[in-house]
Structure 1
């Protein structure tokens, strides 16, 4: 006999997917309401907090995203500038064969718009992902359990899972504005949690 409240697995997965989409729409609207000037100020503060982390200061190779022009996400250009001055090696995400991988990037190198609109280096040189110490990740929402809600394509979850299978475990840090934190992010068994999130008020460590 089925217990009260029992739901077939397929229905549970459909329910989580629907909840994710509803949360994405809500959080995209909420984040989009932040003024451009406020985002600029908060992004600079977030960059300063990232640079205060000992794991970042001791890192050799750091992966970070280049902000999407159409998404009002945390601007990483101040970090690119600062990390370049610190002689850190940088990698950025690129999509190849529907999967995320890492390409080396130096400040000032020409970029092109890729399939999903993300800026990628015109000349792709794959990074040695075994050397990744820190990965800085965009998000729409996060909770205190370390779960993040991304843009729905699953690229980062598959990327982080692949690194783990290959024996690589860089520090996973989400970049967000504090208003993007919610009580519970709907998640599936394959969603990869973060180690922490940096927002304009500081650093939240989950592990």
Structure 2
């Protein structure tokens, strides 16, 4: 299937999930994440803020666990720049002011002055709609994360999270697509 076909299919599949299913799957993904990765060895973890109306995997269980148990780790969250299709990155603080962007995504208020350098990020948790058994993901099609990952250090750990298992193959992978290192579903960690 093509990316466009997969976007439509998996958007519909996610919308069919109940809030309880999303919450349960998100908690299972968080448990697998913390059981697999040596968080204490990472300085900064980049995590997207979920679009709850689209039933994205809820990343707040991961964010809150890092805040409570790994005090020396930094959580970094993105802010989209629609005019350039790039992102800025900000250190997460529990009381930071958030605002909705034009797509209804929560992001840091840019006046918080807590920008974080991309080169300091050790692990990136990637949003996705679908992924394949070769470690490629289908996002929303705007290329924000592909541009961001191209700016990261070559050894940054790229971790997708998905409520669904992979498909066999995405038919229209191109040279801009960046392969993930891992993808976590509620029942398994996929590794490439």
Q: Same fold (TM over 0.5)?
A: yes
Write out per-residue CA displacement over residues 166-203 of structure 1, whole angstroms, 9 at most, x where no aligned residue.
x4431000011134x11112311211110010111121
What's the secondary structure of 1:90's corresponding residue? Answer: strand
Equivalence for 1:184: 169
How large is the Cα RMSD of the aligned pairs? 1.6
What is the TM-score with the length of structure 1 in the denominator?
Answer: 0.83
Counterpart selection for 1:156 from 145, 152, 155: 145
Are 2:116 and 1:127 equivalent residues in the alignment?
Answer: yes
Tell me: CA distance 1:193–1:37, structure 2 relative to 1, closer, same or farther (3 Å): same
Q: Is the 8 A contact 1:104 1:124 kept in 2?
A: no
User: 2-side partners of 1:178 and 1:24: how far apart?
Assistant: 13
User: 1-side partners of 2:187 and 2:66: how far apart?
Assistant: 21
Are 2:6 and 1:23 equivalent residues in the alignment?
Answer: yes
Q: Is the 8 A contact 1:66 1:119 kept in 2?
A: yes
Q: How does 1:53-202 map to 2 (within 5 A)?
A: 53-85=36-68, 86-87=70-71, 88-96=73-81, 97-122=84-109, 123-163=112-152, 167-179=153-165, 181-186=166-171, 187-202=173-188
Alpha-carbon deviation of 1:67?
0.4
Unpaired runs of 5+ residues, structure 2, are none
Q: How does 1:14-53 map to 2 (within 5 A)?
A: 19-53=2-36
Tell me: CA distance 1:74–1:65, structure 2 relative to 1, closer, same or farther (3 Å): same
Q: Is the 8 A contact 1:56 1:134 kept in 2?
A: no
Alpha-carbon deviation of 1:138?
0.7
User: 2-side partners of 1:57 and 1:48: how far apart?
Assistant: 15
Q: Figure out how many residues of one structure are paired with residues of the other and give that number.
A: 185
